[in-house]
Structure 1
């Protein structure tokens, strides 16, 4: 029997493994308010999946402010998020279950996130999942964050695996676009219905819905 083409499972973090999106919205609303920009939850959702420095730069273009700098506001939001993640970040349903299924299927495991590395590490420690992943990669040092595919391509490179042999799990549209631009298979687990998620190879209501048969079908499909 031919070996499966898929050799690695790459998981996003925010909104997929950890329910951090409400925390991001809280941190952004708090700190943008200090420079006179009063955002709603819905407005914060518009930038879901983007790297935080890109979010702050985008808001600065929308509503320019003086001091503190874009870099300082970014740093303050990250500091607040580290605190929130350590104190109260809840796991998303099915995260550990999906990781277990992928491991049993013989896939190597990695995390690829737009978040800064210290946030990723804090969240995975909170979830008790850090030791499950062979590799953790942040987009913070890449020229561009998602929807650019750089972080996924970097992950494949560090694993020593072709991008076409990687399966990505994503919850955001920006992440899905990045995965497909990297020529990777993608299972999407969106928070809400959006016709654009048809770009994914498979859409699930939650990671709890993933089972060995579904994963095996996905692996077979991309042979």
Structure 2
């Protein structure tokens, strides 16, 4: 899988950490305080959007009185403790990052989340020093499935797109990597289990955990 690759680029939520479940909880609580209910399928509608794009979507869709900045601050406050105490790393992450370091392969984070939360969760798990570049979709014109974030981090790392491997947990993220001209690996995640068939169709590889990469038990799909 990694033959000829000079950089590995990761999404964060659902890819490196098991956190997708908590955002539905936060959305339910956030809308509940406004007397509104979470519509079915909302999580799918906002997949791939940047933190700012998601706040704009919520404000316009639910006629929220707070400003975009205020919405984001409320979400940050609601998410921070969960990231610190309730969100574990995906199986095999520390071991895989060690392998990449030993091989001299560069690493980057390409997340749709806010930079504050990305940095907080990486620090919590002691892996913040394992990545040469950390960016979010707020740093580029368009969120996923546009290739912007992946192309930007590849440029930062001075690595050609075809020399990059992308790890993602949802179809929109996999498409972003493919649209950037990169190889893609779908990561199993409970939140996107109903999308597994689509993930397998879009990606080049599929893993249940990062031990599959280390042990060579990944699937070519």
TM-score scaled to structure 2, two decimals?
Answer: 0.85
SS in 2 for 1:186: strand
Q: Give yes or no for contact 1:172–1:190 (8 Å, CA) kept in 2.
A: no
Q: Which residue of 2 aligns with 1:221?
A: none
Aligned-residue offset at 1:107: 1.1
Once the two structures are TM-superposed, the CA of residue 112 in structure 1 deviates from its matched residue by: 1.3
> TM-score of the superposition, structure 1-length normalised?
0.84
| Structure-2 separation of matches of 1:63 and 1:27 | 15
Partners in 1 of 2:142 and 2:94 — Cα distance? Answer: 29
Between 1:10-19 and 1:186-195, the stretch displaced more is 186-195
**2:7 touches 2:164 (CA, 8 Å); kept in 1?**
yes
Q: Judge conservation of contact 2:150–2:177 (CA < 8 Å) in 1.
A: yes
Alpha-carbon RMSD:
2.3
1:109–1:133 CA contact under 8 A, matched in 2:
yes
Return 5+ residue gaps in structure 1 as ranges.
219-223
User: Shift of the alpha carbon at 1:136?
Assistant: 1.2
Report the equivalent of 1:195.
197
| Cα offset, 1:214, TM superposition | 5.7
- Out of 134, 140, 143, the residue aligned to residue 142 of structure 1 is 140
Instruction: Give yes or no for contact 2:110–2:135 (8 Å, CA) kept in 1.
Output: yes
CA deviation digits over 1:137-184, x for unaligned, max 9? 122222211111111111011101111111111111111010001101
Residues 143 and 37 of structure 1: is their aligned pair in 2 closer, same or farther, counting only changes over 3 Å?
farther
